[in-house]
Amino acid sequence: MRKTAIRREREKIATLIADQRQKLGWSQRELSRRLTWHEMTIHLIESNERGIDVAELVDIAKALGLDPVEMMRLATAEENS
């Protein structure tokens, strides 16, 4: 059951990343350029095929102008809270 929760949280993080990137009008290529990461890495994260560690979350959040702590709070919040 915990694995399901982890997947759900990872999916929420991926959605937050994609939503903010799109809000900024950036392509996956642009975000990857700003992070100096391979574009496929961003694709895999946003499609929930690859998770990210805490350091990567902080890097992505900074690049997108988001607070990584708030991202984690949103990802771990209960659906009906």
Tokens of 38: 């391979």
Give the per-residue pLDDT at 79.
62
Instruction: Tell me the C-alpha distance between 81 and 47, whole Å.
Output: 26
User: Whose structure tokens read 């694995």?
Assistant: 3
Give the per-residue pLDDT at 24.
98
SS3 annotation, the chain = CHHHHHHHHHHHHHHHHHHHHHHCCCCHHHHHHHHCCCHHHHHHHHCCCCCCCHHHHHHHHHHHCCCHHHHHHHHHCCCCC
pTM over 0.75: yes
Give the per-residue pLDDT at 2.
62
Question: One digit per residue, pLDDT tens: the chain, 81 residues?
Answer: 566 767 899 999 999 999 999 999 999 999 999 999 999 999 999 999 999 999 999 999 999 999 999 999 999 887 644
